[in-house]
Structure 1
Amino acid sequence: MSTTSLDRIDIKILNELQQNASLTNVELASRVNLSPSPCLARVRTLEKLGVIDRRIALLDPAVLGIGVTAFIQIKLEKQVQTSLENFTRSIDRLAQVMECYLMTGESDYMLRVMAADIEDLEDLIVNKLSRIPGVSSIRSNLALKRISHKTVLPIDANRPVTVKACATPSRPLERSPRPRYDPTGPLLSDAPIGLDTNRPSYSVERL
């Protein structure tokens, strides 16, 4: 696979777009000291290489009433390929799951989730995560306060950056509409939550 080296102007373009993806091409060109045409050509090249994956809007969760952040450790009964694939498919349908990592150590997965409130978090754990086939234990930690949050990747214009060229940029996964999700059965009703002793154990701790 061929590689492409990014120069300082490329990195400046990336840093500007990471800070504000809504910049017009004219505004961006002015900030990186280029004329509009070569600036646009560079941006299109970065998109073609897959360096720029997509442009999104960052929303303020507090304004939208999404006030709970939790980190959830999940352990599977067996770490076999079918279990991993099934878990991945199930997790992708849960909009509250912001990030999911396959881990080393005691837990198999680490999730960062955001919920409207504690009741919403409990519903996610009890009625959704615990019902995914193969899940053996769930442990949650509540975040009391966000100290730092960054979306800007640390790329330095003073250091060489080499990227692997690809034919097409990666695409975000499409989430299925899910007012209420249950991977083992029909959509859940709005009935009160009830704990089932046959389901995997779970605990919630404050950080």
Structure 2
Amino acid sequence: MVLTILRAMQQDASISNLALAAHLNLSPPACSRRVERLERTSLIRSIVALLNPVKLRVGMLVLIRVVLERATPESFSKFEEAARKVTGCMECHVVAGEFDYFMMVRTRDSESFNRLHSEQLLYLPGVRQLRSFMTLKEVLSSTQLPILI
């Protein structure tokens, strides 16, 4: 039952409690209690609207590899604090391998990215190297997690 609720809500979080209850063959109050329990236990972290980046004029997606000067807890902490403030930064991940971080940034176009690069990215603390990749086409972009339980 939990997995069915999670799958249904991942596909359409705006589904009404009445429609979800009918889908699950539950009464609306029972359905509502189950969804509330999923929220309390953090299986449902939040319910959001997915906005259209092109319509909002931030259609360019830039992937950025970051290498820090040093791999110390302090340098990681300073970088992460600053990365959270980068305009249009959608994701930032510590990664294993030949670089330290992977960032996803949304911006309007190459000119606005160039401005972001010169005004913010170059000043991120502890950075030795930035490699930016402007995407040409999004083949797949999903917010739906695989439910393997």
TM-score (norm 1): 0.69
Q: Does 1:136 align with 2:128?
A: yes
Higher relative contact order (CA 8 A, sep 6+): 1
Q: Distance in 1 between matches of 2:116 and 2:54?
A: 19
Counterpart contact for 2:21–2:27, Cα < 8 Å: yes
Q: Distance in 1 between matches of 2:67 and 2:122?
A: 11
Deviation string, structure 1 residues 63-107 (Cα, Å, up to 9, x no partner): 111121111001111111111111111111123111111011111
Task: Select 2:58's aligned residue among 66, 74, 78.
Answer: 66
Q: Does 1:19 align with 2:11?
A: yes
TM-score (norm 2): 0.95
Counterpart contact for 2:82–2:125, Cα < 8 Å: no
Task: Select 2:27's aligned residue among 29, 35, 39.
Answer: 35
Q: Does 1:101 align with 2:96?
A: no
Percent identity for Structure 1 against Structure 2: 36
Task: Select 1:118's aligned residue among 95, 110, 113.
Answer: 110
1:149 aligns with: 141
- Calculate the aligned-residue CA RMSD, in Å: 1.1
Amino acid of the structure 1 residue aligned with 2:62: A
Q: Distance in 1 between matches of 2:64 and 2:15?
A: 36
- Point out where structure 1 has 5 or more consecutive residues left out of the alignment: 1-8, 162-207
Deviation of 1:51 (Å): 0.3
- Point out where structure 2 has 5 or more consecutive residues left out of the alignment: none
Q: Which has the larger radius of gyration?
A: 1
Q: Distance in 2 between matches of 1:76 and 1:95?
A: 20
Amino acid of the structure 2 residue aligned with 1:31: H
Q: Distance in 1 between matches of 2:17 and 2:86?
A: 36
Q: Distance in 2 between matches of 1:94 and 1:55?
A: 24
The structure in which a higher percent of residues are helix is 2
